[in-house]
Amino acid sequence: MPPAADGNNLAIAPATVNTDAGGSKLRRACRIAQRWPSSPRAVADDALAQAISDLLPVLICGEASAEQAFGRAVQSLSARLPAAMTQALRSIEDDERRHGRVLGQLCETLPPPRSQRPARAAARFVRQIQQRDPARHLANIAALDAALCRVLSGVCQPGRPLARNPALLAVFDGIRRDEARHVRISRRTAMHLGLGTDVLRHARMTVGEAFAALLLPQAAAFAALGIDETELRQRLKASAGVAGSTDVDDGIEPEAIAS
């Protein structure tokens, strides 16, 4: 079993084989196109703007790692993957670049974060989830994206501060919907490459617990987005759990994949 890139204990358990990748759903997923604002407007609410600035490093820490993971998968595994699956991975690369562009524009409208510690912690976390084996890296990325979807589904709920700003809601709910699709594609690709459901569950638990440790110190900033510490803990605990969890619980609704 390949170790994690920096030798920590987030390496995933041995694989079993499951080769049913759901290619038809992947082809439908490739046709999804999200609408994004061309340039997010400045955030008028100072407290909300500061909270978003403080949280961005931990909420989007997986973007660069994901782009790298999907790029590596396309380059090294395309001969082993159906054409539809390769196309889906390329579409995720495009999504991640788009996320980076839009979030970069958003950052220009925000105050600086109050501390650099979350960014440093996020960088350590990203190193933890990296794997030399592209399939195992995809499993970890899927676990991270599922946890992120669960958190963003709470942040974007109607009536909460973010939902009262249409431009911000478009950005973060657009990311949530994209990441929901990425979870499905990553899981199916990893399973096509030989990883079993037990491996995906183990990744979900270990990555989910590490992501919780990254986000919980930012509970005060989440409170400004309408999520108190109790709810944040519940969402993160449920995401790291295995028994009884579903894609719907993750904010990954059936409509996230076009029919």
- Report DSSP letters for the chain, one per residue: -PPBTTS-TTPPPPP-------HHHHHHHTT------SSPPPP--HHHHHHHHHHHHHHSTHHHHHHHHHHHHHHHHGGGS-HHHHHHHHHHHHHHHHHHHHHHHHHTTSPPPS-SHHHHHHHHHHHHH-BSSHHHHHHHHHHHHHHHHHHHHHHTSTTSGGGGSHHHHHHHHHHHHHHHHHHHHHHHHHHHTT--HHHHHHHHHHHHHHHHHHHGGGHHHHHHTT--HHHHHHHHHHHH--TT--TTTTT--GGGS--
pLDDT higher than 50, residue 157: yes
Q: What pLDDT digit, counting tens, does each position of 25-76 carry?
A: 333 323 322 334 444 555 657 889 999 999 998 888 767 666 666 777 777 7
- Report the C-alpha gap between 109 and 103 in whole angstroms: 10
pLDDT of residue 64: 61
Determine the pLDDT at residue 99. 86
Q: Which of 13-27, 171-185, 240-254 is the least confident region?
A: 13-27
Residue 245 pLDDT greater than 60, yes or no: no
What confidence tens digit (pLDDT) does each residue in 203-234 have? 999 999 999 999 999 999 999 999 999 999 99
pLDDT > 70 fraction of the chain, expressed in percent and rounded: 73
pLDDT band at 20 (very low <50, low <70, confident <90, very high): very low
State yes or no: pLDDT of 174 exceeds 90: yes
Determine if the pTM surpasses 0.85. no
pLDDT of residue 61: 79
Give 85-142 pLDDT, tens digit per residue: 888 988 888 888 888 888 888 888 888 999 899 888 988 898 888 888 888 988 999 9
pLDDT for residue 13 is more than 80: no
CA gap 74, 134 in Å, rounded: 10
Residue 242 clears pLDDT 70, i.e. is over it:
no
- Span 186-200, pLDDT tens digits: 999 999 989 999 999
Is the per-residue pLDDT at 251 higher than 60?
A: no
Phi, psi for 126 (deg, rounded to 5): -60, -40
